[in-house]
């Protein structure tokens, strides 16, 4: 009986639990906003966003249980070890959001509010900034088709207007050609590349295609 009373006394009060849960909810809201602005409308996954918030709150509950009972914590970790995640990660940054969500729950449950808040702000800036860096310099496929053009001049234009370029495929016939390049460039230079290639003459079409890297 005395041991049970001692265990109950060591448990955090309801006011502390509510404070921890509320803090986790606020920090999860910051993370949710960061996830929204770190993705485009096409790549944003509402179900995954809800899962992140839920995971943060679940982490608070688990940490409250773990702190009060060592044996229970070992059993909980043992049960979690058999869990297998079979969902494909579309964006490597999603892994970062998952760990961020767990960190929010741990920070809130251990009452490290400053660390949780400061860390969330820094991570939000990093995650949102990664989107605009990605959009600015994103791998694309440049397909050039023509019948009478100097391929060396085309290559020179591409090298001079892009950050990097690689020939992925080249198909040359007696009266036509098709060359596929993988390029990285600032989105503001896309029209300039196409215009300069057409100015060479002998070009039938120039296609610039965004690669789907999330599959």
Amino acid 5: pLDDT:
47
CATH code of the domain containing 186: 3.30.70.260
CA angle 45, 137, 91 (to 5 degrees): 25
Amino acid 85: pLDDT:
53
Strands annotated E in 82-163: 138-146
Spatial contact of 142 and 183, defined as CB atoms under 8 Å apart: yes
The per-residue pLDDT for range 121-167, each reduced to its tens digit, is: 999 999 988 776 655 566 788 899 988 778 888 888 888 888 788 88
Whether 29 and 128 map to the same domain: the answer is yes
Whether 148 and 121 map to the same domain: the answer is no
Domain that holds residue 160: 137-210
Query: Cβ-count burial of 108 within 10 angstroms (0-12 exposed, 13-18 middle, 19+ buried)?
Result: buried
Q: The tokens of 138 are what?
A: 């994103």
* Spans of the chain, pLDDT less than 50: 1, 3-5, 7-9, 81, 213-215
Q: The tokens of 154 are what?
A: 């085309």
Question: pTM for this one?
Answer: 0.59
Amino acid 95: pLDDT:
87
Spatial distance between the Cα atoms of 91 and 45, rounded to a whole number of angstroms: 11
Whether 24 and 117 map to the same domain: the answer is yes
Whether 89 and 181 map to the same domain: the answer is no
Please provide residue 92's backbone torsions phi and psi, each rounded to the nearest 5 degrees.
-55, -25
In-domain check, residue 215: no
Amino acid 119: pLDDT:
93
């Amino acid at each position: 009986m005395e041991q049970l009373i001692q265990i109950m006394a060591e448990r955090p009060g309801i006011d502390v639990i509510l404070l921890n849960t509320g803090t986790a909810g606020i920090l999860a809201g910051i993370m949710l906003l960061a996830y929204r602005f770190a993705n485009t409308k096409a790549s944003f996954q509402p179900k995954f966003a809800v899962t992140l918030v839920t995971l943060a709150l679940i982490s608070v509950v688990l940490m409250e249980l773990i702190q009060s009972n060592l044996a229970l914590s070992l059993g909980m970790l043992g049960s979690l070890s058999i869990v297998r995640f079979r969902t494909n990660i579309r964006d490597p940054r999603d892994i970062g959001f998952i760990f961020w969500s767990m960190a929010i729950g741990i920070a809130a449950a251990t009452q490290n509010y400053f660390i949780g808040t400061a860390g969330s702000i820094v991570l939000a800036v990093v995650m949102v900034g990664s989107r605009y860096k990605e959009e600015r310099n994103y791998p694309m496929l440049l397909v050039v088709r023509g019948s009478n053009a100097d391929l060396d001049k085309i290559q020179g234009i591409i090298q001079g207007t892009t950050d990097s370029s690689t020939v992925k495929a080249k198909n040359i016939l007696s009266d036509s050609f098709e060359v596929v390049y993988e390029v990285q460039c600032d989105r503001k230079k896309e029209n300039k590349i196409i215009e300069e290639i057409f100015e060479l003459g002998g070009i039938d079409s120039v296609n610039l295609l965004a690669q789907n890297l999330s599959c």
